[in-house]
Amino acid sequence: MEAMHRIAWIFLLSFCVLQVTSVIQSPPRIVKQPPTDELLFQVVQQQNENDKPFIIECEAEGEPAPKYRWIKNGKHFDWQAYDNRISQQPGRGTLVISSPRDEDLGQYQCFAENEWGIATSNSVYVRKAELNSFKDELPVTVTAPEGKPFKLTCQPPDGWPKPNVYWLIQNTDGGIKSINNSRMTLDPEGNLWFSNVTRLDASDDFVYACAATSFFRNEYKLGNRVMLNVMATGVSSTLNRHEPTKQYVTRKNEVALRGKKVEMYCIYGGTPLPQTVWNKDGQPIHSSDRTSQGNYGKSLLIKHVDFEDQGSYTCEVSNGVGSAQSYSINLKVNAAPYFTLEPEIINAAEDETAEFRCEASGEPKPQIKWIRNGVPIEEAPPNPRLKVTPNRIIIERLDKTDTANYGCNATNSIGYVYKDVYVNVLALGPDITEPPKDEATVDGRKVTLLCRVFGAPKPLVKWIHNGKEVTGGRYTVLESGDLEIRDVNFFDEGQYTCYAENKFGNAEASGSLVVKEHTKITDEPEDYEVAAGTTATFRCNAVSDSSLDLTIDWLNNGQEIDFESEPRFVKSSDYSLTITKTTELDSGTYTCVAKTELDEATAQATLTVQDVPNSPRLEGITCNKRDANIKWSPMGDNRAPILHYIIQYNTSFTPDSWEDAYDNVPATDMTYTVGMSPWANYTFRVIALNKIGPSTPSPHSAVCTTQPDVPSKNPDNVQGKGTEPTNLVITWTVMPEIEHNAPRFMYRVYWKRDIPGEQWQSNDIMDWKQNKLVIPNQPTFQQYRIKVVAINEEGEANVSPKEEIGYSGEDVPTQAPQDFRVEQVTNSNSALLSWSPVPEDSIRGHFMGYKIQTWTEKEGEEGMREIDVKSKDTRSLINKFIPHSKNFARVLAYNGRYNGPSSDTVNFDTLEGVPGTVQFFEAFPMGSSALYLVWKRPEQPNGILTGYRIYYQTVRDTSVGPLIERQAITDPKQTRAKLAGLQPGMKYRLHIKATTRAGEGEDYFIEQRTRASATAIPDKPKFTWHRIPTENGYATVKVVWLPNVEGKLGSHFFVKYKLKAETIYTESKAVFTEDFTEIRGLMPGEVYEFIVVAVDGDQMTESEPEEVETHSVEGPIIQPKENVATAGWFIGMMLAIAFLLLVLIIVCIIKRNRGGKYAVHEREAAHGRNDYPEEPGFHEYSQPLDNKSHGRGSMSSDPKQAPESDTDSMAEYGEGDTEGMNEDGSFIGQYGRQRKQGETASTGFATLV
């Protein structure tokens, strides 16, 4: 039993030891504290007002848990003495003041203390917030002169923090509204400045009221009510002008605090309202996130002031009256202290060295002092191992008693900054507080493997990879114990062990690293420059490790594009970004982000959307007597520089149309002088152009008016030309109204024949829109002198009119050229023609030359062509004739309006010429060493085609090899050929020329490449065949291979053939160089079955079989081989024998059956047929068969005759009904069947003969 108790005590003691060692001692560390400047509170001022509690924060961490104490105004603060009004939060040092009083004002500071040290908080000044009331005064009335600057003064109440002061408008009903007017500005002291007073500012039904606000107390006070009377000046507003007058400006030397805001004022009054421009150190100030203008430009606001904002600020004020005013402010920036190097907490082991460093900056320069355990370090117990300098503390050979809190305090006249830290002297074995994790990364990146170690002395950390320590090169063990691997590669993959060791022990922990392939962009977007309204497309493709999911996103200026809210932005399935209907605002940087869960790759491009320039601003115009000076300024080029300007004008004559005065004013010019015509009202506008296009026009200028004057020019393009043989028509270009220069504008037209002594004649044209005058009854084609003068009510034009030469109308030439002949036919399309000239007076107009009219016999005159000979030559070589044809030609003279009569027609034959080009030419690869050529005969053979010449040459880059000729083709009907023996994968230039007896025609060439050395199964071929004569008694068949040019042709072919009755095929030799072959030695008069086999390497494809019948051969004439059964002589002989047998049979039958004469005549007579001629012979057989119908017609006209039998004619004569015919051909019908009613039976027996 006692043993059991002993074991239990040992177990309990071990547990307590473990618990103690697991808790690490630590001096206090402040985690929450008061601000460094001040803390405001409110005191209840009315009985029904609720208390407004506030807190002063203080909280620290440490082991053991720290205790707290406070000092106020440098003395111990016993907060427990304040009943329940002040309390401290449990477990913290924070004071809660639930019912603030005036006596709570003071300087507070917190201390947190345990057995290892004392931590010190910031020192804060706790101050009461208040806002007093205005003095209770009645509204006052003030008077201000109209148009001049004016000031309303406010006397704001006291308060803390300093209240914000502003002015309101208070209506008579008590309602208030704020003032937001560019003429009214509030200065920092609460005064309201009027830049200029207008009648609308008068207080008819309201007063101006000054208000003070405390934002902390959330209250405001009203006071200083003012009624404003405006004293009218009695002059118009355009004349009531005052130059800029200084009203309120910031002091010359202004100080701003770093990190705070500052507003500099430059308030000037005047009429019109002055405009203010701000500069810093002589450079214009551009608005930004930190810098902006307020109060309509009368103040400059800088947020988050920094030292770079120091400098000289100048405001320039002008309003177009008097001279511009300027004022300068020298801004200096001061700064409360701030740390540039902060001290840090130190955990160290005995015998080590601890060092605290502290550096601070500020303006003025701060002073640094050190604190130890809440008191100045000078008052701390002496320690020979402790060294103190202004910026550092060094403690050498640490021991346990050195554990303490240390604080760095930097102070200047603006404020202070303080930080409390500690040194903790420990004796602990290594403890891995954050062990390595299983990590994954990609090659080429940097990765950090986590291993956070705590121990005293500080443990030495090593890393083991695959059993070996990694150090140096790409591997760095960081101060924290982590392992950093730079430029990771696939060999870095595996298990990593973090090993930590100091003199008290060691510890280790492991994790793994997986390395995958990094993501890379294979197709980067490119910079784009587009015109506004068009589409821009950025392309981006990437690859990544196959085990990772890849996504590609797009950023615009660093922000991810929301494709749902931006319908103009489209991401396609190939990850490309398309922006439709681009605008100038789309310009910027677009970034393609390809990312996986492990890494990402980016590539960016710039989009520049260029648009037409903004409309220029017309600054002014100066109107002079005959010109105007125009001034303008550009308003932006929208990312495409302005190339030039266009100055346009319109006048009262054409108010709806604008004309270009100058269309290429240099882009550097901003003023231009434009001439003006008399008696017009001008307005002007300016257009800017860049490479995208023209801007919208500027607003038009004021009107410039000019005075009347005589015309400054006469009409242009004066011409005289008859439209009929007996008239003269004088025309000119109408002068527009802008050129009239005065009212009552007209034209005066002068003309006279160009002969000595002739007098001028004239005619006034009062309608300025008229542009011609017709003068009738003039001789045909005579020369005239003409001129047109412009006149208005001020007189004739101030320039002399130019005299022009004109002619009256032309008439038809009267004579044809004589002696037209063909001197020589020079070649296939040329002939030398000559003729006699026509007399000059027969032309009756401007002689223009001769016309050769020609046509061919085939075309006829309907296809006539005309060839102009534009000279007086009477001999010309014409090269427009058709080769190898009968050509007809004639010649005629012509003038400006009419053709003359033509000469006699001649005809001649042209020689045969060389052909034109083939109509088309194509080449198809056959295997790897041949091409299959297909062409179409020339459209213009120019003779009788005799064949084709084919040439070829190699093409390497830009050079061609020598020209090689293929075997000539002598069959003009052939339009296909094979070109073999070529190099695989080589480009060739192929030439083809058609030929006639005159030689080779025009060249037509194409380029084609042979196939590389690879085989393919050919498509099923086709073929044609025809028999060709031979002399050896055997038949020969020519087989032409027709490859499928739309598919796979094959490289060559051979033919399989056999007699139809046989089963085994015979194969011809393979044909490599041609597309045809001849199969010889065939038996004449037999039927063969042919198959063409297309071949490509080892691949073969057979055609459909086709039967071919050979013929017998007899000399040079090919005849089909005849069987006896089908021979003509045999069939004729058999027909003759059959005919003789038939005649013999008929004679025998007649002989046997002829017992007496068959009384045909009597029988016919009994039926009324009595029209037989009285001639000797067998009358009963002499009636022609084709007269039967006539006999019947005569019979039917006799009403007494009995009806005729329906078998009389046909049955009795062997035609028609065969029903009554016996096997031997005799008529037995009347005995063999029942007669119809009315038929007459015959008792005679008739024979066929």
For 253-291, the pLDDT digits (tens) are 999 999 999 999 999 999 888 999 999 999 999 889 999
Quickly state the pLDDT bin for 1234 (edges 50, 70, 90).
very low
pLDDT of residue 518: 95
Residue 977 and residue 923 in contact, taking contact as beta carbons nearer than 8 Å: no
Q: What percent of the chain has pLDDT over 90?
A: 65
197 or 1161: which leads in pLDDT: 197
E-strand spans in 481-599? 483-485, 494-502, 505-516, 520-523, 528-531, 536-538, 541-543, 551-556, 559-560, 569-571, 577-579, 588-595
Residue 1067 and residue 1092 in contact, taking contact as beta carbons nearer than 8 Å: no
pLDDT of residue 1154: 60
pLDDT digits (tens, 9 = 90+) for 130-173: 888 888 888 899 999 988 899 999 988 888 988 888 899 988 88
Domains of the chain are 24-128 (2.60.40.10), 136-240 (2.60.40.10), 342-426 (2.60.40.10), 428-516 (2.60.40.10), 526-607 (2.60.40.10), 617-705 (2.60.40.10), 719-807 (2.60.40.10), 828-909 (2.60.40.10), 912-1012 (2.60.40.10), 1015-1121 (2.60.40.10), 1196-1249 (no CATH)
- Alpha carbon distance 97, 85 (integer Å): 6
Can you read off the two tokens belonging to residue 199?
A: 């009648």
- What's 48's DSSP letter? T
Quickly state the pLDDT bin for 1016 (edges 50, 70, 90).
confident
Residue 274 and residue 351 in contact, taking contact as beta carbons nearer than 8 Å: no
pLDDT digits (tens, 9 = 90+) for 431-490: 999 999 999 999 999 999 999 998 888 899 999 998 899 988 999 999 999 999 999 999
Residue 927 and residue 938 in contact, taking contact as beta carbons nearer than 8 Å: no
Rounded alpha-carbon distances, angstroms, from residue 227 to 155, 210, 1090, 1102: 16, 12, 124, 116
Tell me what the pLDDT averaged over the chain comes to.
Answer: 86
Parallel, antiparallel or unpaired: strands 386-389 and 392-395: antiparallel
pLDDT of residue 1047: 82
Polymer length of the chain:
1249
Q: Say how many CA atoms lie within 13 Å of 1120 toward its Cβ.
A: 9
Residue 224 phi, psi dihedral angles, 5° rounding: 50, 60
- Calculated CA dihedral for residues 690, 692, 694, 698, nearest 10 degrees: -70
pLDDT of residue 10: 35
Quickly state the pLDDT bin for 1118 (edges 50, 70, 90).
very low
Average pLDDT over residues 346-365: 93
pLDDT digits (tens, 9 = 90+) for 289-322: 999 999 999 999 999 999 999 999 999 999 888 8
- Alpha carbon distance 250, 858 (integer Å): 106
pLDDT of residue 1127: 57
pLDDT of residue 1184: 39
CB neighbour list of residue 66: distance below 8 Å, 6 or more residues apart: 28, 60, 112, 113, 114, 119
pLDDT of residue 1232: 38
pLDDT digits (tens, 9 = 90+) for 780-790: 999 999 999 99
Report whether pLDDT(7) > 90: no
pLDDT of residue 1210: 35
pLDDT of residue 178: 86
Average pLDDT over residues 1140-1152: 84
pLDDT of residue 269: 92
1120 or 269: which leads in pLDDT: 269
Can you read off the two tokens belonging to residue 132?
A: 């007093």
**Amino acid at position 1184, single letter:** P
Report whether pLDDT(194) > 70: yes
pLDDT of residue 93: 93
pLDDT of residue 1148: 85
pLDDT digits (tens, 9 = 90+) for 360-393: 999 999 999 999 999 999 999 999 999 999 899 9
1184 or 397: which leads in pLDDT: 397
pLDDT of residue 430: 92
Quickly state the pLDDT bin for 339 (edges 50, 70, 90).
very high
Task: With H, G, I as helix, E, B as strand and everything else as coil, classify residue 707.
Answer: coil
Residue 492 phi, psi dihedral angles, 5° rounding: -80, -5
Closest CA to 1080 of 1029, 1114, 1024: 1029
pLDDT digits (tens, 9 = 90+) for 1189-1214: 333 333 333 333 333 334 333 333 33
Sheet holding 447-449, edge to edge: 447-449, 483-485, 475-477
Residue 991 and residue 956 in contact, taking contact as beta carbons nearer than 8 Å: no
pLDDT of residue 351: 87
pLDDT of residue 458: 86
pLDDT digits (tens, 9 = 90+) for 542-571: 999 999 999 999 999 999 999 998 999 999
Model confidence, pTM? 0.46
pLDDT of residue 334: 95
Per-residue b or e along 548-563, where b marks 16 or more CB atoms closer than 10 Å to that residue's CB: bebebbbbbeeeebee
Please give the full DSSP string across 631-686, using - where no structure is assigned. Answer: EEE----TTS---EEEEEEEETTSTT--EEEEEEEETT--EEEEE--SS-EEEEEE
Q: What percent of the chain has pLDDT over 70?
A: 88
pLDDT of residue 1117: 44
pLDDT of residue 442: 95
Average pLDDT over residues 813-829: 94
pLDDT of residue 18: 35
pLDDT of residue 1163: 47
Per-residue b or e along 637-675, where b marks 16 or more CB atoms closer than 10 Å to that residue's CB: bbbbebebbbbbbbbeeeeeebeebbeebebeebebebe
Average pLDDT over residues 657-675: 94
CB neighbour list of residue 523: distance below 8 Å, 6 or more residues apart: 539, 540, 541, 542
Average pLDDT over residues 846-856: 95
495 or 1181: which leads in pLDDT: 495
pLDDT digits (tens, 9 = 90+) for 827-840: 999 999 999 999 99
Average pLDDT over residues 1041-1065: 88
Residue 748 and residue 764 in contact, taking contact as beta carbons nearer than 8 Å: yes
Can you read off the two tokens belonging to residue 1182?
A: 């002499």
Task: With H, G, I as helix, E, B as strand and everything else as coil, classify residue 157.
Answer: coil
Quickly state the pLDDT bin for 1059 (edges 50, 70, 90).
very high
pLDDT of residue 1176: 41
Residue 341 CA to chain centroid, in angstroms? 54
Beta-bridge partners for 979: 931
